[in-house]
Structure 1
Amino acid sequence: MAAENEASQESALGAYSPVLLNVLTLNRNLSDSLARGRLHPDLQSNVLQVDSEFTEEEIEFLEARGHHVEKVDVLSWVHGSRRTNNFIIGVKDPRSLDATGASIL
C-alpha cells in the first residue's frame, strides 16, 4: 500500500490503519475498504479530522463524546495491490483525482 496526503507523512499511519483494519479484521474487500471514510487525530491541537465520507450523524456521535471534530474534503489517498495466482490487481483510492479507470488487470 501507498499513502498520499496533503499535510505530512505523519498521518500516513492514520491512512493505512483503517484500511488494514477493514481488510484484515473485518474481512472487507480492498476496494470497499479504500472507499470508506478515514479519520486522523491531531494530538497536539486535540482536533479529530474526518474526511467527507463521514456523515453528520457520525460527526455528532464523535462530538457527543467530547471530540473536537474538523471535517475536511480529503485526508489522504491510499492505493493498494493484491496478487491472486498469476494476476496482480492495482486498486486506487476512489477519492484520488485520477481514480477512474485505475484498476489494472
Structure 2
Amino acid sequence: MAWVVGTAGFLGLLAIALGIVTLRTGWVLPTARRDVTRPKLHGLGALLTGASALLQSLLYFHILPSVSWEVHFFGGNAFLLAGLLLIALSQLLPLRRNPDHADPSGA
C-alpha cells in the first residue's frame, strides 16, 4: 500500500510543478494544449489537484501532524474536486475576445 501512496505523492509533486509552470508562463502540456482556453484556471486547478494528492500522502506517512479522519477525508476530497472543477472550467469556458481588436474577417 505504501508504494501506491508514494506514487500518488510523486504525481502530486509533478502536478504542482506543472501548475506553477502554467501559471508563470502559460505553457500547457501538448496533450491538453488544444483543449485549454484559460491557462491560468488550468494551472490553478493543477495546483489544487496536486496539493490534494501530496497532502494525502504526507498524512499517510505521518510526516504532517495527524488530524481526524473526517478532516483528512473531506479536506482532501474538497481540494481534489475544486482542482478538477477548475481544470474542467479551463477547457469549457469560451476564449476571451478583446473588443479593442478589429474583426479580421470583417470590415
TM-score by length of 1: 0.28
The higher radius of gyration belongs to 2
* Structure with the higher fraction of residues in strand conformation: 1
* Structure with the higher fraction of residues in helix conformation: 2
With a CA cutoff of 8 Å and minimum separation of 6, indicate the structure with the bigger relative contact order.
2
